[in-house]
């Protein structure tokens, strides 16, 4: 039997390219987490770039002066929001942490009450199965309470670790300043130290990646920000008029986080919340939450076509697999990072995917 060395050489080359690219993306993710302050500064700098160019056009100021002006305004807004959000979240999280046992007891009493209202004798369910159902419900509530305690404790510890946050904040702000003011110089240095062929290839891939991933993230973050603002305003109105919304900012953050997840939406949290309120007899709050959810959904449906010009082109089942994989590897944050990595890999391997992955590797 004659072995076609050219064919198998091509196959091994394709497999090596695939493996090295996946390894590069994995290392890139690790480095992005390690250098998170610089990544945050880079993302903010990209968002501020249109503002800097706008001021340069309208005021005829040079880039440095325009960058400093935008930077100062941005810092005032960011610092003000961080102080307000930090103080409010610590206060609400501390109060919620002390009340978790009370909510656990209410939840268990609600489950017991619902079970007692069902006539299981007609369903002919054995008593041992009924006991198992009750124990499972109690175990689920206990697990949920424990997870909430750990999450709230972690959030409080993080927000109250002033030295660590101070270092991260200072590094992020300094990086943002240099990226805004010295963008041209940094690009020139990059082009000077890298081979010309590398610069061209990186430029092509980076432009494509920024166009697909950057456009998608910008659109999704805009939609989530709008949903978050509506939920914050609505929940604070409920709080001030006397409805039982004790932690409006925390609830709005949870709604925003769930809304950020692909496939899921704000209704994933708000509808069960309304159902629980109705089951506990608080029909006014249940209706108010459903009305707020309806307003958020209508606003999102109205603005989404204008903001999102196209979809990411990935079937929901693959997005769900990416979310699950991210969750298994790095926890809740992985549910956001997983789909983002999927978009990155799809963009990098667009040629392979269009032709068919295995066809691209093994076809003669």
Q: Are 181 and 68 in contact (CB under 8 A)?
A: yes
Question: What pLDDT is recorded for position 134?
Answer: 65
The percentage of residues in the chain with a pLDDT greater than 70, rounded to a whole number, is 65
Angle between helices 162-181 and 36-59 (to 10 degrees): 40
Tokens 């929001």 locate to 81
DSSP classification of residue 262 = S
Q: Kindly report, residue by residue over 210-261, the tens digit of the pLDDT.
A: 666 666 777 777 888 888 899 999 999 998 888 888 888 888 888 888 887 7
Q: What is the mean pLDDT of the segment spanning 328-351? A: 75
Question: What pLDDT is recorded for position 291?
Answer: 92
Tokens 């206990």 locate to 142
Q: What is the mean pLDDT of the segment spanning 276-299? A: 87
Q: Are 21 and 349 in contact (CB under 8 A)?
A: yes
Q: What is the mean pLDDT of the segment spanning 45-65? A: 84
DSSP classification of residue 266 = T
Is the model more confident about 303 or about 128? 303
Instruction: List the structure tokens of 139.
Output: 């175990």
Question: What pLDDT is recorded for position 46?
Answer: 78
Q: Give CA–CA dist 8/291, Å, rounded.
A: 62
Q: Give CA–CA dist 224/258, Å, rounded.
A: 9
Task: Give yes or no for residue 199 having a pLDDT over 80.
Answer: no
Q: What is the mean pLDDT of the segment spanning 8-32? A: 77
């Amino acid at each position: 039997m004659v072995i076609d060395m050219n064919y198998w050489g091509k196959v091994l080359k394709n497999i090596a390219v695939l493996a090295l690219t996946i390894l590069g993306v994995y290392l890139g993710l690790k480095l992005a987490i390690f250098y998170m302050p610089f990544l945050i500064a880079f993302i903010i700098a990209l968002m501020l770039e249109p503002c800097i160019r706008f001021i340069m056009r309208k005021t005829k100021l040079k880039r440095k002066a325009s960058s400093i002006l935008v930077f100062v305004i941005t810092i005032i807004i960011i610092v003000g929001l961080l102080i307000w959000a930090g103080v409010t979240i610590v206060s609400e999280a501390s109060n919620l942490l002390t009340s978790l046992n009370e909510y656990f007891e209410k939840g268990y009493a609600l489950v017991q009450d619902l079970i007692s209202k069902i006539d299981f004798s007609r369903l002919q369910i054995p008593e041992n199965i009924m006991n198992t159902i009750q124990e499972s419900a109690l175990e689920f509530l206990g697990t949920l309470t424990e997870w909430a305690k750990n999450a709230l404790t972690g959030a409080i510890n993080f927000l109250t670790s002033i030295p660590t946050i101070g270092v991260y904040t200072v590094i992020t702000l300094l990086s943002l300043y240099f990226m805004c003011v010295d963008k041209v110089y940094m690009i020139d240095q990059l082009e000077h130290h890298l081979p010309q062929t590398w610069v061209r290839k990186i430029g092509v891939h980076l432009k494509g990646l920024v166009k697909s991933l950057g456009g998608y993230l910008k659109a999704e973050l805009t939609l989530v920000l709008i949903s978050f603002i509506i939920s914050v305003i609505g929940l604070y109105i409920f709080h001030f008029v006397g409805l039982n919304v004790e932690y409006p900012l925390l609830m709005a953050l949870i709604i925003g986080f769930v809304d950020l997840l692909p496939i899921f939406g704000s209704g994933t949290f708000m509808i069960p919340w309304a159902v629980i309120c109705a089951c506990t007899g608080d029909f006014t709050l249940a209706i108010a939450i459903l009305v707020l959810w309806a307003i958020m959904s209508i606003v999102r449906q109205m603005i989404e076509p204008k903001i999102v010009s196209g979809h990411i082109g990935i079937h929901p089942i693959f997005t769900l697999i990416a979310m699950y994989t991210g969750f298994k590897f790095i926890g809740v944050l992985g549910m956001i990072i997983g789909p983002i990595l999927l978009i990155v890999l799809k963009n990098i391997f667009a040629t392979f995917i269009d032709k068919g992955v295995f066809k691209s590797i093994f076809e003669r």
